[in-house]
Structure 1
């Protein structure tokens, strides 16, 4: 309550407002999030050694909508599904061997990328400020590319890792970041309309 006796509303960083929901709601959100990430994995352009797909878009968006804790938990749950053999990775791939192959660095980066996007969203880099949301999505993508390239560099050398593991994904990272920021802005605008 404020000094005037009116309730002080805590700012909501996400249109989903999962922090104010019950445990059952949050568990349902994790399940829905893993399904969304699996769907993003199926939208791909095959490339070697790492395909281009919508995973980084999904990871950053889940982080921004769910917050850093629940976003990271959701991404870890999705990766666990992949590790036990569920076809939820790029193009329906599955199995623990992906966590030691060329894409391992990207996979291990995903929870950190989601957590970063979620943490920044909680700090105001969200749908209410689309430019900052775009910056958050770009940083989330940058974490993924950096960790993915670092792992690839061990396998194929630094120069080849940059050529095959970073450069082809730069334009996509910018476009997916813009799409993510626009999605957050639209969802937040819809929430504000429904709250009126």
Structure 2
């Protein structure tokens, strides 16, 4: 990995940490708050691509596991990985990877619509698919209650997906960070 790639990974891990400074919004019925940090997940994947986006969030989680209080509300340490929000945290590197993968797949025709699809699939569907079951298990609530409670995340996640999509399209036009392998001409 080039030093520039490491700088991008560190930058987006830091962006996700800074988004944790915004106060969390409690959700009635489930023990998982609404935070701005999933915007960092979406930005990392849609701007950096699959590999670097996933690594940025993996780096972030390693630093949190080491005890730095970078999660919203000043949380950190190993304990957050066995609590009600653990599934959401585990999903972040996967979500960033999926967003980046979908972005790279649509790179040649990348626009706001494709960016929104990538952010909704990776940044919402993937995150909920892992987060809701963990909330049910570790939050001692039924799966139905965890899923119903997570519906309150949707409006904010739609806004975050929109913001990440607009930023990603602007970055791709002005300074494309994702470098796709060049196609080799056919031998002949």
Would you say same fold, with TM above 0.5?
A: yes
Structure 1 position 27, deviation (Å): 1.4
Partner of 1:152: 135
- Segments of 4+ moved more than 6 angstroms: none
Partner of 2:121: 139
Structure 1 position 28, deviation (Å): 1.5
Mapped contact 1:44–1:51 kept (Cα < 8 A): no
Partner of 2:6: 27
Any unmatched runs of 5+ in structure 2? 177-188
Any unmatched runs of 5+ in structure 1? 1-21
Candidates 92, 98, 101, aligned match of 2:83: 101
| C-alpha RMSD of the superposition | 1.8
Candidates 149, 161, 170, aligned match of 1:186: 170
Query: Counterparts in 2 of 1:39-58, with a 5 A limit?
Result: 39-48=18-27, 49-58=31-40
The structure-2 alpha-carbon separation of the partners of 1:58 and 1:125, relative to structure 1 and needing over 3 Å to count, comes to farther
**Larger deviation: 120-129 or 182-191?**
120-129
Whole-angstrom CA distance in 2 between matches of 1:50 and 1:161? 9
Candidates 155, 163, 179, aligned match of 1:171: 155
Mapped contact 1:127–1:184 kept (Cα < 8 A): no
Mapped contact 2:54–2:93 kept (Cα < 8 A): yes
Structure 1 position 125, deviation (Å): 5.8
Deviation digits for residues 51-76 of structure 1 (CA, Å, limit 9, x no counterpart):
11111111011011111111111111
TM (norm. structure 1) is: 0.80
Candidates 125, 128, 146, aligned match of 1:161: 146
Mapped contact 2:24–2:72 kept (Cα < 8 A): no
Whole-angstrom CA distance in 2 between matches of 1:153 and 1:73? 27
Greater relative CO (CA pairs within 8 A, separation 6+): 2
Mapped contact 1:52–1:169 kept (Cα < 8 A): yes
Structure 1 position 189, deviation (Å): 3.1
DSSP 3-state at the match of 1:181: helix
**Larger deviation: 46-55 or 102-111?**
46-55
Partner of 1:18: none
Count of residues paired in the alignment: 170
